[in-house]
Structure 1
Amino acid sequence: MSKTTPATVALTKAGVAFELFAYDYDPDAPRVGLQAAQAVGKAPEQVFKTLMTLVDGAPACVIAPSDCEISMKKLAAAIGGKSAQMMKPADAERLTGYKVGGVSPFGQRKTVPTVMDETAVLFDQILINGGQRGLLLGVAPEAAARAAGARLVDIKA
């Protein structure tokens, strides 16, 4: 496993400190984010998943705790749209340059509107995918939001 990904390069370039957490990725896990949290010994609400969505047909990125569901209505409103849906995995891979299960909000091929669930600030450090399956990055929430160009909003269902 490479410890250098477009995500780690982007964070380093932005001067954002991060910690690497490698784990054995299980593609068959019912909820990959929960499996990742368990594998690294962190609370599920501290390990954030990265989801690629469409808001009124335009791509958007969502960073949310691995143990929660996203309110598509709240997401659409946060981006300034009327409706939201999940992006197809193949489209997410093409847009971001990452494989599903390894999508990071950092270092994506194209900049898209990004939101992060506001509960991130409850922690000194959150873990976010590092750009490949089995690699998480521990980052201060405010620094992560800044590096991802994310607004902190309530997006939980």
Structure 2
Amino acid sequence: MSIESVQEFLSEHGRGGAIRRTDGSSATVAEAAAAFGVEPARIAKTLSFRGDSPETCILVVMAGDARTDNAAFKARFGRKATMLKADEVEALTGHPVGGVCPFANPESATVFLDTSLKRFDTVFPAVGSADSAIELTPAELEVLSGASAWVTVSRLA
């Protein structure tokens, strides 16, 4: 159901036809990079962190070669960077593990974009399934995701 809701959302914003699908998995950065023929750093992975309450989460979209900087995360969000457990991900994001994306999320999920993405002309976030992506500029990603802010909560590997 997740990819259908994202497809509908992107169609409403004139980008429904830009979704790319692969026959294999694109659930990891390495798989997505291979499937879509781009360097791993350009995969815009969406990480799911615990929010202020058990019913909320923080989604941070960062470059595929970036890692969470725990001190920067705590300084920005005032809390430890605690990833959601697999069984919580779909309930709080509306998307399955491997397909979590910054689009068509429920109100329980707040999206932030990490500045690690700004060094690329285009990036490839998932679109609600473990076999899909869309190519967007960082500016398009900002608009379509409805991101709350750009943050720097990563460090490059």
Equivalent residue number for residue 25 of structure 1:
25
- Correspondence 1:91 to 2:88: yes
Deviation at 1:10, TM superposition (A): 1.8
Structure 1, unaligned stretches of length 5 or more? none
Contact 1:18 1:138 in 2 (8 A): no
Structure 2, unaligned stretches of length 5 or more? none
TM-score by length of 1: 0.82
Which residue of the other structure, out of 20, 25, 48, is the alignment partner of 2:44? Answer: 48
- Correspondence 1:9 to 2:12: no
Which residue of the other structure, out of 115, 118, 126, is the alignment partner of 2:115? Answer: 118
Relative to 1, partners in 2 of residues 1:56 and 1:5: Cα closer, same or farther, differing over 3 Å? same
Contact 1:46 1:65 in 2 (8 A): yes
Matches within 5 A, 1:31-42: 32-42=28-38
TM-score by length of 2: 0.82
Deviation at 1:18, TM superposition (A): 6.8
Structure 2: which amino acid aligns with 1:70?
T
Identity %: 24
**Residue-by-residue CA offset, 1:46-105 (whole Å, 9 max, x unaligned):** 111111101444411010112221123322333x32322101111111112211011111
Contact 1:64 1:116 in 2 (8 A): yes
**Residue-by-residue CA offset, 1:12-33 (whole Å, 9 max, x unaligned):** 3234577322221066xxxx11
Contact 1:5 1:130 in 2 (8 A): no
Contact 1:124 1:141 in 2 (8 A): yes
**Residue-by-residue CA offset, 1:88-137 (whole Å, 9 max, x unaligned):** 11111111221101111101123532211113222222100011111011
Contact 2:74 2:80 in 1 (8 A): yes
